[in-house]
Amino acid sequence: MTSLPDFKLETHFSKWEFAARYHLTASDAESMSLADLLALASPAARAGFENLWLGYTETYGAPDLRTAIAATYAQQSPDNILCFAGASEGIFAANTVLLDRDSHAICITPNYQSHETLPLAICDATGIPLDPADNWSLDIDRLAAAIRPNTRLVTINFPHNPTGAILAADRYTALIDLCRKHGIYILHDEIFNGLGPSGTQHLPFIADVYERGLSLNVMSKAYGLPGLRIGWIACQDKALLSQMERMKHYLSICNSAPSERLALIALENRAQILARNNALIDENLPRLAAFFARHENLFDWSAPQGSCMGFVRYKGADGVEAFARDLVEQSGVLVLPSSIYSSALGQTPQDYFRIGFGRSGLDEALAAFEAHLARNG
């Protein structure tokens, strides 16, 4: 593997995420305190946390946690689940196990950076751009034309980061059929599945509908619990899971025992937590739409199909990079300019910024945003 470039998003967040007063670009839902999460616990789960033995844990993940994770799927058993220290470790393990220097990989663009930099560090890769003129959809024919005899992996992400787009069900089925025909694995980053405004139609988990599908998920986004650092991959291919488990021996080795107990409590209260988080999205979206309607000379806004983030086109003459920099430096409002999502695999739109609406405090952030526009108008 060649050396990896700086992770643009995380480098940007390292500078601004905890320095900016208004984090208006978060991709995760509203979090909660430890006390609030423990208040949801059954007496048995609470005792399991308080009396926990702080030793090593099973590399695959605690059996009861994997049982709870499997229950979020339609067709998975606990044996089909491998836990990781967050989703990023799962991305690393999947790519390093599935790919070698003679492989070829395909991923969509724009993307979460590790979905392309990891394949590129190992082998040749091709990017397939989502089309902003078609609701950021994926052209299956274009992807089919990119397949080579050595194509080993296709990586997708819906609801999509940063646009919130969800692939149409017929195109999803066509993609699965195409990959099945060629014996290609699909890594589906599904970390926003379950999160979105009322009426969101999420796709079936890839592990439930494709024998070579890897379902990547995490407690960080839809559940709003990134501090737990608990992620997982669900997959029907148990031999592949075993290979990834052995790769994990070089990484985290095992998950945090307290985090496993807390993740179990959250999953046992999954419906309540997701309902709370999605209700906040429903509250915030009309406020965001009204804000952009007042400033339609500067912004093109379309509500995303899922997740708690959207991609906004900026029409100002100064360009989105200067706009986003001035916004955070002068007014403390953090958004992500589209350069964060630039790709080594082809052109990506460069006049957008990511905005998040899954947390409380949106009114205060939009007021600061509005004041910034008034001062600089």
Is the pTM of the predicted complex or chain greater than 0.85? yes
pLDDT at 98: 98
Q: What is the pLDDT of residue 377?
A: 77
168 and 108 co-located in one domain: yes
Beta-strand relationship, 104-109 and 299-300: unpaired
Share of the chain above pLDDT 70, in %: 100
- Mean pLDDT, to the nearest integer, of 311-334? 97
Q: Of 269, 286, 301, which residue constitutes the final position of a domain? A: 269
pLDDT at 338: 96
Instruction: Give me the number of domains the chain comprises.
Output: 2
296 phi/psi in degrees, rounded to 5? -70, -15
Q: pLDDT tier at 322 (50, 70, 90 boundaries)?
A: very high
Asked if residue 278 and residue 144 are part of one domain, the reply reads no
- Please indicate, yes or no, if residue 76 is contained in any of the structural domains: yes
Please indicate, yes or no, if residue 346 is contained in any of the structural domains.
yes
Structural domain of residue 322, as residue ranges? 8-33+271-376
pLDDT of residue 3: 85
Is the pLDDT reported for residue 1 higher than 70? Answer: no
65 lies in the same domain as 113: yes
Same domain, 84 and 191: yes
Same domain membership, residue 213 and residue 88: yes
Is residue 155 one of the residues assigned to a domain? Answer: yes
**The pLDDT value given to residue 184:** 98
Q: Which residue, 222, 246, 269, sits at the end of a domain? A: 269
Q: How far apart are alpha carbons 69 and 67 in whole angstroms?
A: 5
> Tens digit of pLDDT for each residue in 4-43?
999 999 999 999 999 999 999 999 999 999 999 999 999 9
| Residue linked to tokens 């609406």 | 357
Let me know whether 197 and 112 are in one domain. yes
Regarding whether 188 and 261 lie in a shared domain, the answer is: yes
CATH of the domain at 317: 3.90.1150.10
* Amino acid, single-letter form, for residue 364: E
End-of-domain residue from the set 269, 301, 332: 269
**Domain CATH for 159:** 3.40.640.10
- 77 and 177 in a common domain: yes
Cis geometry, peptide bond prior to residue 258 (ω within 30 degrees of 0): no
Across residues 106-118, what is the average pLDDT? 97
Q: Which two tokens stand for residue 328?
A: 């955070």
Neighbours of 275 (CB within 10 A): 10
In order, the DSSP letters of 137-180 are B--HHHHHHH--TTEEEEEEESS-TTT-----HHHHHHHHHHHH
For residues 214 and 233, state if they share a domain: yes
| Interval 179-228: pLDDT, tens | 999 999 999 999 999 999 999 999 999 999 999 999 999 999 999 999 99
Asked whether residue 265 falls in the same domain as residue 277, the answer is no
Cα 365 off chain centre by: 23
Residues 68 and 212 in one domain: yes
- Residue 147 is assigned to a structural domain of this protein: yes
* Residues 210, 327 share a domain: no
Residue 2 in domain? no
Residues 184 and 175: beta-carbon distance below 8 Å: no
- Vertex 241: Cα angle to 240 and 246 (nearest 5): 100
For the residues 236-261, what does the mean pLDDT come to? Answer: 98
- Whether residue 331 is predicted with pLDDT greater than 70 in this model: the reply is yes
